[in-house]
Amino acid sequence: MNRPIRRVAVAALVLFGLLFLNVNYIQVVQADALRNNPRNNRLLLDEYSRPRGDIIAGRSTLVESKETDDRLRYLRVYAGGRDELASVFAPVTGYYSLVFGATGIERAHNDTLSGNDDRLFVRRLSDLLTGREPQGGSVVLTIDPEVQRAAAAALGGRRGAVVALDPKTGAVLAMVTSPSYDPNDLSSHDPEKIRAANKRLNADRNRPLLNRTAEEVYPPGSTFKVITAAAALEGGMKPSDQLPCSASIVLPDTRDVRLRNFGNSGCPSKVTLAEAMQKSYNTTFATLGMQVGADDLQEMAEKFGFNARPEFPLRTVASAFPQGLNRPQLAQSAIGQFDVRATPLQMAMVAATVANGGRLMRPYLVSEVLAPDLSSLEKTEPDEIRRAIGRDTAAALSSMMQAVVAAGTGTRAQIPGVPVAGKTGTAQNAGPSHAWFIGFAPANDPKVAVAVIVENGGGDDGATGGRVAAPLARQVMETALRERR
Amino acid sequence: MNRRRTELLLLAFAVAVATVANVAVDVAYSEKVTPAVMTYSVALALLFGAAHLAVRFLAPAADPILLPCAAVLNGIGLVFQRRLDLAAADRAAQLGRAAPSGHATQQLLWTLVGVGLFVALLVVVRDHRLLGRFRYTLVAIGLFLLLLPSVLPARFSEVNGAKIWIRVAGFSIQPSEFAKICLIVFFASYFVEKRELLALATHRIAGLNLPRARDLGPVLLAWAASLAVLVREKDLGSSLLFFGIFVVMLYVATERTSWLLIGLGLFAGGATMAYRLFGHVRTRVDIWLDPFQDPTNRGYQLTQGLFGLATGGLTGTGLGNGRPETVPYAGTDFIFATIGEELGLVGVVAVLTVFALFVSRGIRVALGCRDDFGKLLATGLAFSVALQVFVVVGGVTRLIPLTGITLPFLSYGGSSLVANYVIVALLLRISDADRAFVERAPQATDAELTGEMTQVVVMR
């Protein structure tokens, strides 16, 4: 009878073997995925039982954890609980919700803030041994709180967005979306209140939870002419080269589909590229786009970052320049219409690239990650994505854009004593046109690049980029220059 | 007598493990060691010491590893019951209620009963072959215990939808644990007697020796009884366990692979039928296939158990630092997830290794045994532990559909603990007979006795 008993022993061994393999699979291979499953509230309860790290910008602490005496010990407090101020920073900080999880930097740097970061392992170990209360590391943002507040104040509750970058590094100085929301409402310890707040925010037609700077795309309108001009300059054209102009043109291959200048305004029959930019002549740029060709224009747009989702700690969507355009579509695309779509972040990157002599820097939001003892865990080094355009092209674009602000469509962006470069846009869409402005200052030594959009011009039918967006950009740039002297 | 010294040393080690673990729980919970640790350690030392003395005098040549395996698992089980009691008390304090009565002290009492029965069995059963004489009494008791809950009114037998209990005078007994042992003794005795018939009277069809139709009777009876347990008592785990043990013992007795195939076929048929006919079986399978489709309701227990295991990861959160109480039945069916959360992969591998060691020692007892009844009985007992561990741990870790049965020695519950001490006593009794024979016949070496040689020697 020993032979079958041995076989039974082998069978038992196989059963144990399967169990060994399976526990390894669950506790090692699948462990991270299961542990971080949103339904696993163990980590959440642990996280709430220790202070989460701060989110800091400049000299202010935007987000901190405060001790309470309820079951979840630590409460997340945004901007000291002041709802106005908290909502200004909400698109960047995000919220930290018991019910809906985390968003924004709260989500992107959750490991550091919660103290689960692998780089904090030794610290956790010593906390365990010494009985010191474990706590999370802090995240320092590139955001300049003054610029952020100035941009939010300038938008004044109108639907729109502002992005300000340091063109030399790619550091994000301001990222404002409007209207916004108070993250304190969504981060409370009362699930019922959180659900109610979320329901209210989701029902709001102005979509306050949407980060318009990076999660929403708009037709860029005439601000896209910077890219069309860049493609032409890279193709050998000079700013002084003559181009045809008229109040309207009939698009090729169509029977009387007309593309018109803004307000149907007339122009001399021949203008230079620089003049066309200064006055934003649609007909000239449509013709120029067709000269450049669909492939070259698409390539140039992609060099500036179109058709790719930027690598960024917040949720972003890709800006789009369509492929396989026919000639009338190309003509419209060259002036930022048809199916061309861009996020405000993308258009700020365009302005920053021109300001930075043609080098596109990777936009970044976190300058430094700190351990709980404030030692530095990680510092962000500026990173060049690519050279989008040559130095000469960038210089030529810069002087053409300075002319736009000095005596063109963007005069309301002028700052006394500071050369400002810019480009306005008034983008057609289903409702009243969107008012755009992109630019940078000082033009001779750029310290800030901005993109501003006011959706539907703030509801005004006659609104233009020059009238509505340019003064807003000026306020933001002025504040940035004062802050970054 | 070296074997007994080994056993004593290992038992002391088991008490030490439980003591250290209890200290760790206290430190994690209140940062100071409470007198309770001392109470548990002393109680365990006394109980295991008594068991050891009983073995020393009543079965001096018995295997030295089996009892310490049981002791270390029992000790760890107690630590986790205590740890879960503390969590329950914390929760009650938060809700402003009185702390519930502790499971750990209850389990310690059951350990006393288990060790008591262990000693009593060693005293009463001086030769395991005597058990064979009572086989018809035992099968009657076994079937009675197994099927009793299904005929009792629900208020005496039903807990959480499973009718597997007998509840009298404040006590809950899970009779299937004892029925299992009665039936294993019966199978061992019956199959050994009828093995010639079951093995030899065959038709040869397609290269397989198939039994005659009328000899299929007992198999079909066991199969029907298993299904009855499943249908009437909704006890998927016990049903699977009984049938598995039955088929394996039949195979060992007859050495006929055809019985395994017939058994597998009947199992497959029964399983398919059960899946088609019974909602609760379908639910179990659906949860197994995708526990995350309904993670807050039907899949809650399994997913929370998996989260616990995963949160524990390689080294665990440490005793007292996890949240095993999140999982429903953390102390009984899901004790394995509780251990995995706080002691990690390291801890569960250690626990599984102790089980594997226990089973392998049990099989050794079978191999070394001189009579067929003892061989088959030891195999059945050892395999029943292996299969039970597989079914419950496999269920908790989503290897197979979840079926609620206890993890031997670790789960909270008197019936399970006491019944498993009975298994240890029986295995020790059989192994003592093996060794006693060897020691009286010094010409045979250990190597010969554990190998196939044994039979050659005996037959000569």
What pLDDT digit, counting tens, does each position of B179-214 carry? 899 989 998 998 888 887 777 666 666 666 666 666
- Give the pLDDT confidence score for residue B219 in this predicted structure: 66
Choose between A348 and B138: higher pLDDT. A348
The answer to whether residue A3 neighbours chain B at the CB level (below 8 Å) is yes
Roughly what angle, to the nearest 10 degrees, separates helices B372-396 and B236-254? 150
Burial class (CB in 10 A: 0-12, 13-18, 19+), B401: buried
The answer to whether residue A118 neighbours chain B at the CB level (below 8 Å) is no
* pLDDT at residue B442 greater than cutoff 60: no
Is the whole model's pTM more than 0.95, yes or no? Answer: no
CB atoms B310 and A12 under 8 Å: no
Residue carrying the six token digits 């301001």:
A174
- Give the pLDDT confidence score for residue B160 in this predicted structure: 65
The beta-strand segments (E) located in A17-68 are 55-57, 60-67
Over the stretch B6-26, which tens digit does the pLDDT of each residue have?
A: 999 999 999 999 999 999 998
- Give the pLDDT confidence score for residue B162 in this predicted structure: 66
Over the stretch B358-368, which tens digit does the pLDDT of each residue have?
A: 999 999 999 99
CB atoms B348 and A27 under 8 Å: yes
Q: What is residue A320's three-state secondary structure? A: strand
CA torsion, points A140, A141, A145, A150, in degrees to nearest 10?
Answer: 180
Choose between B112 and B98: higher pLDDT. B112
Please, which residues bridge with residue A171 across strands? A364
Residues on chain A touching B389 (C-beta within 8 angstroms): 15-16, 19
Distance between CA atoms of A422 and A436, rounded to whole angstroms?
A: 10
> What part of B 323-362 touches A (C-beta under 8 Å)?
323, 326, 340, 344-345, 348-349, 352, 355-356, 359-360
- Give the pLDDT confidence score for residue B207 in this predicted structure: 63
Contact A445, A236 (CB under 8 A): no
Which residue, B400, B320, B295, is CA-closest to A37?
B295
- Give the pLDDT confidence score for residue A29 in this predicted structure: 92
The answer to whether residue B255 neighbours chain A at the CB level (below 8 Å) is yes
CB atoms A16 and B309 under 8 Å: no
CB atoms A34 and B323 under 8 Å: no
- Nearest by CB to residue A2, choosing from B251, B399, B455, is B455
HSE of A471 in the Cβ direction (CA atoms, 13 Å)? 10
The interface predicted TM-score (ipTM) is: 0.91
Q: How is residue B298 written in tokens? A: 């039907």
- Please give the full DSSP string across B381-406, using - where no structure is assigned: HHHHHHHHHHHHHHHHTTSS-----P
Choose between A40 and B216: higher pLDDT. A40
HSE of B137 in the Cβ direction (CA atoms, 13 Å)? 5
Residues on chain A touching B391 (C-beta within 8 angstroms): none
**Which 8-state DSSP code applies to residue B293?**
G
Residues on chain B touching A2 (C-beta within 8 angstroms): 367, 375, 452, 454-455
Contact A361, A168 (CB under 8 A): yes
pLDDT bracket for residue B459 (50, 70, 90):
very low
From the centroid of its chain, how far is CA A251? Answer: 35
Residues on chain B touching A134 (C-beta within 8 angstroms): none
Closest Cα in chain A, distance from residue B453 (Å): 10
Contact A437, A350 (CB under 8 A): no
Residues on chain A touching B390 (C-beta within 8 angstroms): 15-16, 18-19
CB atoms A42 and B322 under 8 Å: yes
Looking at residues B277-296, what average pLDDT do you find? 85
Residues on chain B touching A15 (C-beta within 8 angstroms): 386-387, 389-390
* pLDDT at residue B443 greater than cutoff 70: no
* pLDDT at residue B230 greater than cutoff 90: no
Q: How is residue B451 written in tokens? A: 């190998």
The answer to whether residue B398 neighbours chain A at the CB level (below 8 Å) is yes
At B298, the amino acid letter reads R
Q: How is residue A138 written in tokens? A: 């802090």
The per-type count for chain B, helices as H runs and strands as E runs, is 18, 6
Give the pLDDT of chain A (485 residues) as one tens digit per residue. Answer: 889 999 999 999 999 999 999 999 999 999 988 888 877 878 777 777 788 889 999 888 899 988 887 667 788 889 888 888 899 999 999 999 887 888 899 898 988 888 877 777 777 777 766 666 677 889 999 999 999 999 999 999 899 999 999 999 999 999 999 899 999 998 888 878 888 899 999 999 999 999 999 999 999 999 999 999 999 999 999 999 999 888 888 888 888 888 888 877 888 888 999 999 998 899 999 999 999 999 999 999 999 999 999 999 999 999 999 998 888 899 889 999 989 999 999 999 999 999 999 999 999 999 999 888 888 888 999 999 999 999 999 999 999 999 999 998 989 999 999 999 999 998 888 888 899 999 998 999 999 999 999 998 887 777 888 889 999 999 999 999 998 77
To the nearest whole number, what is the mean pLDDT of chain B? 85
Choose between A447 and B218: higher pLDDT. A447
The per-type count for chain A, helices as H runs and strands as E runs, is 18, 19
Closest Cα in chain B, distance from residue A28 (Å): 6
Residues on chain A touching B387 (C-beta within 8 angstroms): 12, 15
Q: What is residue A368's three-state secondary structure? A: strand
> What part of B 115-144 touches A (C-beta under 8 Å)?
none
Q: How is residue A61 written in tokens? A: 């602490």
> What part of B 44-103 touches A (C-beta under 8 Å)?
94
- Give the pLDDT confidence score for residue B326 in this predicted structure: 82
- Nearest by CB to residue B326, choosing from A4, A23, A42, is A42
- The residues of A assigned a catalytic role are 222
pLDDT bracket for residue B332 (50, 70, 90):
confident
The answer to whether residue A131 neighbours chain B at the CB level (below 8 Å) is yes
CB atoms B397 and A40 under 8 Å: no
**B349 → chain A, closest CA residue:** A20
CB atoms A34 and B306 under 8 Å: yes
CB atoms B355 and A35 under 8 Å: no
At B314, the amino acid letter reads L
Distance between CA atoms of A232 and B200, rounded to whole angstroms?
A: 96
Choose between B438 and B413: higher pLDDT. B413
Distance between CA atoms of B342 and B353, rounded to whole angstroms?
A: 17
